Amino acid sequence: MDVSDWQTERKRTRQILVGDVAIGGGAPVTVQSMTITKTADVEGTLQQIYALAAAGCDIVRCTCNEAEAAEGLAQIVPRSPIPVIADIHHQYKMALAAMEAGVHGLRLNPGNIRKPEHIKVVASEARDRGIPIRIGVNAGSLDPELYEKYGGPTPEAMVESAVREMAYFQEVDFDLMKISVKASSVPLMVEAYRQLSEVTDVPLHLGVTEAGPPPAGLIKGTAGIATLLLEGIGDTIRYSLTADPVEEARAGRQLLEALGLRQRKNVDLIACPSCGRAEVDVIDIATRAMEAFGDRKLPLQVAVMGCVVNGPGEAREADIGIAAGNKRGHLFVKGRNIAVVPESEMVEALVEWAEFIHEHGTDAAIEKADTALAEREAAKDRSSLLDTQGADVNHSTEKIVEIRKKISG
């Protein structure tokens, strides 16, 4: 008997796109997480994003709480392998700056940005750019007026907060939204989502906020998220753990697989989005790599990166990866360069080394390789590319100028 024979029918919600990832409308339930780096730390944040993608994260959220964070996003977004959402706190101008940076979505907390005129300015800009917004209601930061009206953070108060925010959006004809009504109390969170699901067909983002460290945090998150998913409620999820965010992504993926909502994979292939630095057609190589791996039972994280300048560092959590540079393919294992092959042999080499790693492990692969030669050649090609392309092929400087105008205007 197929799992779908006894699953509860999922509630049909409208569909939105976060980057190229579909949310709602029958699309697979997606996994989200959030970086814990300073967003202004571009390289550190990108390394964390790649680690999250390798662990099964579909969408990542980065804080945008200051001008430096917005400027960092301008450099992060074009190099991220998955869509990036900006988490906005109290300053609505940070939302405008984040959109200027090119983010794929925003998260606004109605309890933090309460002036209708500010909310509408952001929604209008998002409407014009086609950027979705998550209304992120949190039991711990409700509008004081709702606290007083309902005597505390009740499900009814949380749902009203979400409905109010939707009304502001609708006044400016903005409908690219999803909603969360999170709480640290599992029963409160479950009931709030149940009530919200009855009054809207907007996609719902599930989570138990401030769940704490594992194992208790995993238990709380699973109790709330799984309960709702089994009732057919929810389109995207996030575990909120006091831990490395990679643990959140892994837990989310494993939960969806356990519930039969996502298919298990053999090779988990991640690839960069082919920014201005890319030396090859990343989409073509990634597609050919997936075809070459086919149904091979290789439960490895494999990365295909457009350039040797950033690739090995960004995808250093991958078991095996390859990056292009100067008409050559640079293979790396756990961020360590291990071999150099002609560009035409990139896919074949990637599969060959993946099979070796599956049989013998990553340590054996590094031991087998002439890492000194590989790292020397990678450094040579990185230097050559920087000399010919320059340091700002993604035009981040121009975006940063516009971001500063948004913030100061």
Question: What is the reported pLDDT for 111?
Answer: 83
> How far, in Å, CA of 66 to CA of 343, rounded?
41
Per-residue model confidence (pLDDT) at position 1: 40
pLDDT at 7: 65
What stretch of H or E contains 402? Answer: helix 396-408
Longest alpha-carbon distance in the chain? 69
Helix axes 92-101, 396-408, angle to 10 degrees: 160
- Specify the pLDDT at position 409: 74
350 alpha-carbon distance from chain centroid: 25
What does the pLDDT look like over 78-97, one tens digit per residue? Answer: 999 999 999 998 899 999 99
The pLDDT tens digits of the residues spanning 98-143 come to: 999 999 999 999 888 889 999 999 999 999 999 999 999 999 889 8
Which DSSP letter does residue 234 get? -
Range with the poorest average pLDDT among 8-22, 266-280, 343-357, 395-409: 266-280
Q: Do domains 3-258 and 268-389 have the same CATH topology?
A: no
- Determine the pLDDT at residue 268: 86
Rounded to 10 degrees, the C-alpha dihedral 254/44/178/55 comes to: -10
Identify the pLDDT of residue 6.
58
225 has a pLDDT exceeding 70: yes
**How would DSSP label each residue in 350-380?**
HHHHHHHHHHH-HHHHHHHS-HHHHHHHHHH
- Across 95-184, the runs of DSSP E, i.e. the strands, are 105-108, 133-138, 177-182
CATH class of 268-389: alpha beta
Taking residues 150-161, what's their average pLDDT?
Answer: 95
Tell me: pLDDT of 377 over 70.
yes
Q: How many helices (H) and strands (E) would you count in the chain?
A: 15, 15
* Strand duo 320-325 + 30-34: pairing: unpaired
- List CB contacts of 198: < 8 A, sequence separation 6 or more: none
Question: Could you give the 3-state DSSP secondary structure of residue 260?
Answer: coil
What ranges make up the beta strands (E) of 238-277?
Answer: 268-271
pLDDT at 5: 59
Distance, CA of 388 to CA of 309 (rounded, Å): 12
- Determine the Cα–Cα distance for residues 287 and 319; give it in Å rounded to an integer: 19
- The H or E element spanning position 320 is strand 320-325
Query: Across the chain, what does the average pLDDT equal?
Result: 93
Q: Is pLDDT at 4 greater than 90 in this prediction?
A: no
The full DSSP string for 8-21 is PPPPP---EEETTE
Burial category of 312 from C-beta neighbours within 10 Å (exposed 0-12, middle 13-18, buried 19 and up):
buried
Pick from 137-146, 185-194, 202-211: least confident: 137-146
Cis, peptide link before residue 214, omega less than 30° from 0:
no
Share of the chain above pLDDT 70, in %: 98
Cα–Cα distance measured from residue 390 to residue 334, given in angstroms and rounded to the nearest whole number: 27
> How far is the C-alpha of 24 from the C-alpha of 347, rounded, in Å?
34
- C-alpha torsion sign, points 153, 155, 160, 166: positive
Residue with more model confidence, 114 or 374: 374
Nearest-angstrom CA–CA distance, 4 and 100 = 42
Please tell me the least confidently modeled range out of 66-70, 180-184, 278-282: 278-282
- pLDDT digit string, tens, across residues 278-317: 778 888 999 999 999 987 888 898 999 988 888 889 999 8
Looking at per-residue pLDDT, the higher value among 142 and 178 belongs to: 178
Least confidently predicted of 47-56, 74-83, 123-132, 380-389? 380-389
User: What ranges do the domains of the chain cover?
Assistant: 3-258, 268-389
Which DSSP helix (H) or strand (E) runs through 382? helix 371-389
* Mean predicted confidence (pLDDT) in 375-393: 90
Give domain 3-258's CATH superfamily: Dihydropteroate synthase-like (3.20.20.20)
